[in-house]
Amino acid sequence: MTIRFDQLGSAVLRTEYAVRGPVPTRAQQLEREGREIIFCNIGNPQAFEQKPLTYPRQVLALCQYPGLMTEAPGIFPEDVIATARAVLEGTRYGLGAYSDSTGVRFIREAVGAFIQERDGIETNAEAIYLTDGASKGVQGALRLLISGPQDGIMIPLPQYPLYSATVTLYEGQQVGYYLDEGHDWKLSREMLDESLKQATDSGIKVRAICVINPGNPTGAVLDCANISMVIDFAREHDLAILADEVYQENVYLQGDRFLSFAKVMVEKGERDVSLFSFHSCSKGFLGECGLRGGYMEVRNIPPDVLAQLTKLQSVALCANLTGQVATYCMVRPPKPGEPSYPLYAQERDSVLGELRKRAVLLAEGLNRIPGIQCNVVAGAMYAFPRITLPAGRTDLEYCMALLERTGICVVPGSGFGQLPGTAHFRTTILPPTDKIRVVVERLSAFHASYR
């Protein structure tokens, strides 16, 4: 007899990842049948006409086929060639050999230098792990932290469902803490205390708190006081912190700026809170989702625990080398004065400028629709508007109907978590300006007619 559905484990069955859940699955099906779909369900910039930046792609092409250096002289700028040479030497065997389980040391050192320059703090290449995108790093950290079925992980609500899916799959307890929609999705000590107390009262041992900054799906950008408050909360309750900082380049409001948990932690002199920070090549202005590059930096974790993390990474050998080199290009971009710099800076600024415009355009468009309310999109790549639904309808039904009638694919708020009695959806801000207008128009007509 073949495997049957009723033999599957409950952890597998309960795992849900809405970003690729029932609505996107139905959208793919419709697309295969010939419908034109606008995929707003996922932050996948290059699927929305965003061009890859020239510099990392030139470096990667040379690393793939170093013969180009001699066979096609004069094609690539000198600094691209120098970088490719440095990478080939630093990896020792190029892109085709397994690296250390934690990643190529030369690249981990470059990540360390990047953090050092960004934050003005000391780093250690031995505490840096190169990963297949940030997702794999998050999964590694959660695998380490969840030791049994009563271990809880605090997760923002709304959250990016990688967190809920992974905690479910690893059979831990998801402990949600609400973000305050009425105050631009800010995070408050009261909400954290309340959530922790409820969990502790029901016998859960809370092990860690996840923070996404800038927020996904909320777009909120944390300030120093907020981050400091989370660190104090973690210390008081013996929690580790998972800081998802993949949108650190995507900050749109004048006056806001990204601050890392690592920086605030070091400046506070905090040594008793374990920190896992994540970054990725998929977001920011590179948008290289398909290359699966990223890193995890850890702090305040004893060597015997780190050795276990490294062991877990080693079972599937190492992160893909192309992604590792893409990460190198992210953390060591061309500098002013280098031949590639002007084009690099122009491409970077153009992508970020476009995203900033779209964030405003989309939020304003949504707010013009009666029955839809959207906070300002301060960062990241998403809007998470609140919608008024007819009695008895769910946001899943709403999103499914939206898809069927308009071809727009968004993700129901229930996939991210939301206050009971409220309904939302998540959409990326990524469609080009003309498509954003189409999205807003169709949504407006759909929303008015939805009963």
Interface of this chain with a second copy, residues 45 to 74, rule: CB under 8 A: 45-47, 52, 54, 57-58, 60-62, 64-65, 67-68, 71-72
**Residue in 7, 336, 434, 449 binding a second copy, rule: CB under 8 A:** 7
**Residue in 82, 317, 345, 448 binding a second copy, rule: CB under 8 A:** 317
Residue 348 or 386: the one with the smaller Cβ distance to a second copy is 348
Concatenated DSSP letters of 20-38: GSHHHHHHHHHHHTT---E
Kindly report the number of other CB atoms within 10 A of residue 347's CB atom. 18
What residues from 156 to 215 belong to the interface with a second copy (CB under 8 A)? 162, 165-166, 169, 207
Supply the minimum distance, in Å, between the C-beta of residue 7 and a second copy.
6
Supply the minimum distance, in Å, between the C-beta of residue 348 and a second copy.
15
428 CB-contact burial (10 Å; exposed 0-12 / middle 13-18 / buried 19+): buried
**CA gap 422, 19 in Å, rounded:** 19
**Residue in 112, 323, 407, 417 binding a second copy, rule: CB under 8 A:** 323
Supply the minimum distance, in Å, between the C-beta of residue 315 and a second copy.
5
What residues from 273 to 292 belong to the interface with a second copy (CB under 8 A)? 273-274, 282, 287-292
When asked if residue 93 is in the footprint of a second copy (CB under 8 A), the reply is: yes
CA Rg, the chain, in Å? Answer: 22
**Residue in 1, 36, 182, 451 binding a second copy, rule: CB under 8 A:** 1
- 195 with 176: CB under 8 angstroms? yes
What residues from 140 to 159 belong to the interface with a second copy (CB under 8 A)? 143-148
Q: Segment near a second copy (CB under 8 A), from 38-46, 336-344, 360-368, 389-397?
A: 38-46
Supply the minimum distance, in Å, between the C-beta of residue 134 and a second copy.
10
- 380 with 3: CB under 8 angstroms? no
What residues from 325 to 354 belong to the interface with a second copy (CB under 8 A)? none
**Residue in 35, 189, 197, 311 binding a second copy, rule: CB under 8 A:** 311
Residue 25 or 388: the one with the smaller Cβ distance to a second copy is 25
Q: How many residues does the chain have?
A: 451
Residue 317 or 448: the one with the smaller Cβ distance to a second copy is 317
Helices and strands, counts by H and E, the chain: 16, 14
Measured CA distances, 15 to 166, 167, 329, 427 (Å)? 7, 9, 34, 22
Measured CA distances, 134 to 102, 150, 240 (Å)? 14, 26, 18
Supply the minimum distance, in Å, between the C-beta of residue 263 and a second copy.
18
- 431 with 353: CB under 8 angstroms? no
Q: What are the backbone angles phi and psi of residue 208, rounded to the nearest 5°?
A: -160, 160
